[in-house]
Structure 1
Amino acid sequence: MSKLLPIEENEQIVGYFFDCPGCGMAHAPYVQPYKNEVGASWTFNGDFDKPTFAPSILAKIERSDGKAMVCHSFVVEGKIQFLGDCTHALAGQTVDIPEQN
């Protein structure tokens, strides 16, 4: 099993999904700008078992109750290092990226 699910566009891999146990969402760091537009992109070490993406991944999610959730992390060698500004229970902790189902 892999920890990443490729995102394809025009038969080319442009990014990868991984499940985040902190916020319960999938994060999708793009290794090329989305739809060839100018935008954020990350470096990827090419290792599907111990992926590393840089720079950090910041997700701000507006919840249905109107509160914002923040998930901010570094992904290094297959582990998610949650930063202190996360608003979920895993803030400040490091966990393995879960395997894709």
Structure 2
Amino acid sequence: MTELSKVLRETSPGALSFWCPGCRDSNTIRHGSGPGPRWGWNGNTEHPTFTPSVLARTGHYVPGHENGSCWCTYYQEHPDEPRDFACGICHTFVTDGHIQYLSDCTHELAGQTVPMVAFPEDW
């Protein structure tokens, strides 16, 4: 993993990660040539712009996992476990170093726009 700036890391060739304060985790896009979905990137490591929108789904929000085991059912079955993970949707536009959270996000930043933040030191 290569730290490109305080807000952007290259986790593998063509894979860029940024810290999402809504998810409290990183979100990753792939750019350049290659298989699978690809995003445009303005090349700016301090104030990146990605196109189109970035959609991250976890747990039962992942297509095909709607009726399967997920973090929600795990925590219902294990109520004393620390809640380190969550099922959710994070849908954003990343423009000029700002994250615009769309209304379909399932976390508390839905509908807000915030500046990108640095990765936690322990990540």
Shared fold (TM-score, shorter chain, > 0.5)? yes
Correspondences of 1:48-59 after superposition (within 5 Å): 48-59=45-56
User: By percentage of residues, which structure has more strand?
Assistant: 1
Matched with 1:21 is 21
Q: Does 1:42 align with 2:35?
A: no
Work out the CA distance in 2 between the residues paired with 1:69 and 1:99: 22
Number of equivalent positions? 94
Q: Does 1:6 align with 2:10?
A: yes
User: By percentage of residues, which structure has more helix?
Assistant: 2
When Rg is computed on C-alpha atoms for both structures, the one with the higher figure is 2
What secondary structure is seen at the aligned counterpart in 2 of 1:90? coil
The 4+ residue runs of structure 1 with deviation greater than 4 A are none
Runs of 5+ unmatched residues, structure 1: none
Percent identity between the aligned chains? 37
Q: Is the 8 A contact 1:15 1:32 kept in 2?
A: no
**CA deviation after TM superposition for structure 1 residue 99, in Å:** 1.5
Q: Does 1:96 align with 2:100?
A: no
Correspondences of 1:45-84 after superposition (within 5 Å): 45-62=42-59, 63-66=70-73, 68-84=87-103
